[in-house]
Amino acid sequence: MATLCKPDVSVPEHVITMEDTLALARSLHADHPQLPLALRLIENTGVAKRHLVRPIEETLRHPGFEDRNRTYEAEAKARVPAVVNRALDHAELRASDIDLIIYVSCTGFMMPSLTAWLINTMDFPSHTRQLPIAQLGCAAGGAAVNRAHDFCQAYPDANVLIVACEFCSLCYQPTDLGVGSLLSNGLFGDAVAAAVVRGKGGTGIALERNGSHLVPDTTDWIAYSVRATGFHFLLDKRVPGTMEPLAPALRAMAVQHGWDAAALDFYIIHAGGPRILDDLSHFLEVPPEAFRFSRATLTEYGNIASAVVLDAVRRLFDEGGVEDGATGIIAGFGPGITAEMALGRWSTDSLAGPALSARHVLTTPAHAGRESATEPVS
């Protein structure tokens, strides 16, 4: 049975606090007619701090889409390898054991995908399959877990590496002054995450069922407007209300599996914002504490897009996991409006031998000051 092993997560070294964000909003948009509303919405996110790949002074400047995308590629190549190495270590595998790399990101563009660079640079086999996912936004973390599960069902001895690389700050657009854009400027953060789904063995979440649900006629609620200046994020004020139609979809998938979505042992939910978590808690009839991993991600890192679900899983591991056989759900939400959902049980039935070192592959000394979720610098 395919098992999602412990993820590794790293956030950049440049930090912006809630207080910094509010001060910048007041300074940059002092004459904005809806500034008080924007400030109130930012305060209500509960985001204490976020991490950025560039200092805030550079982030606020827009050097052009070409320069932004060049930065995205350079930062991805500098930061991803070390996170991949640690994820392989957690899964007790080497690069040579990986059969498929799924790369998810919605904040930059590369062709060939970073998957090709990883295969060439980190000694993954040349026959390693590649699956880049670029247009599912925040739902892509859940989608990556589900596609890894599907692959391991088709090839039971296979292992899949998932990489989520999101530099949301590189999508900052100084000319976008709608309330939704101002809110996004105070909500999103940058992060890199990686995890392995093992076809056999491993400790973690043994995946049993997955599904997807799209809320009809909501395709323009979360979207990009692609212009000469890059990706302009569009966020409709109706998005927080989508948990009412999505909660029944989670319930229905659980019922199909013979489970009660309101009575599971752990919940890994995309932390789009506090309203999302509060509403889902209400409509699923589970206590707010059930979403503590997602809330912690939101507070400490902000909304890190597709990396959220992997960070929430990492926090479940760091808490000590749960009892063998404990049931849980993973759910990511994003453009569409799309939900990517999975059900699984905690499993410690590892078939792996002694931990193997993945350190024989390339490590990148750049950005040694970054903060890793497994090796914090502060």
Average pLDDT over residues 188-216: 97
Q: Which residues contact 293 (CB under 8 A, 6 or more apart)?
A: 266, 267, 268, 312, 313, 315, 316, 319
Model confidence at 42: pLDDT above 70: yes
pLDDT at 373: 56
**What pLDDT does 371 receive?**
54
pLDDT surpasses 70 at 9: yes
DSSP 29-48: TTT-TTHHHHHHHHHHT---
**To 10 degrees, what angle do helices 140-154 and 308-318 make?**
80
What is the percent of the chain where pLDDT is above 70?
Answer: 92
Rounded-to-integer distance, Cα 118 and Cα 114, Å: 6
- Exposed / middle / buried, residue 154 (Cβ in 10 Å: 0-12, 13-18, 19+): exposed
Q: For the segment 119-152, what is each residue's pLDDT rounded down to a tens digit?
A: 999 999 999 999 999 999 999 999 999 999 999 9
Residue 352 pLDDT grade (very low, low, confident, very high; cuts 50, 70, 90): very low
Residue of 100, 191, 106 lying closest to 149 (CA atoms): 100
Burial track 220-231 (b if 16+ CB lie within 10 A, e otherwise): ebbbeeeeeebb
Provide mean pLDDT across the span 276-287: 93
pLDDT digits (tens, 9 = 90+) for 75-89: 999 999 999 999 999
Residue 179 pLDDT: 87
pLDDT at res. 19: 95
- 44 close to 77: Cβ distance less than 8 angstroms: no
Query: Worst-scoring range by mean pLDDT, 49-63, 229-243, 280-294?
Result: 229-243
pLDDT for the residue 355: 38
Residue-level pLDDT at 97: 97
pLDDT value of residue 176? 86
The C-alpha atoms of residue 32 and residue 330 are separated, in whole angstroms, by 39
74 pLDDT above the threshold of 50: yes
- Would you call 339 helix, strand, or coil by DSSP? strand
Distance CA 369, CA 372 (A): 9
The mean pLDDT value for 44-54 works out to 94
Q: What per-residue confidence (pLDDT) applies to 369?
A: 39
pTM: 0.90
189 vs 179 pLDDT, higher one? 189
- Check residues 160 and 272 and name the one with the higher pLDDT: 160
Distance CA 186, CA 184 (A): 5
On the question of pLDDT at 360 being above 60, the answer is: no
Spell out the domains of the chain, with CATH numbers in brackets.
3-203 (3.40.47.10), 205-347 (3.40.47.10)
C-alpha dist (Å) from residue 104 to 38, 139, 307: 30, 10, 9
Q: Which one, of 203, 196, 201, lies nearest residue 321 by Cα?
A: 203
Residue 378 has pLDDT above 70, yes or no: no
Q: Please report, for residues 142, 151, 159, 198, the alpha-carbon distance to residue 156 in angstroms, rounded to integers and kept in the order given.
A: 20, 8, 8, 9
Compute and round to an integer the Cα radius of gyration of the chain: 20
Averaged pLDDT for residues 274-287: 92
Q: Is the pLDDT of residue 370 over 70?
A: no
pLDDT class of 310 with cuts at 50, 70, 90: very high
Percent of the chain residues topping a pLDDT of 90: 80
Torsion from C-alpha of 181, 183, 186, 192, nearest 10 degrees: -70
What residues act catalytically?
A: 138
Q: Is the pLDDT of residue 25 over 70?
A: yes
pLDDT, greater one: 273 or 359: 273
My answer on whether omega of the bond before 337 falls inside 30° of 0, hence cis, is yes
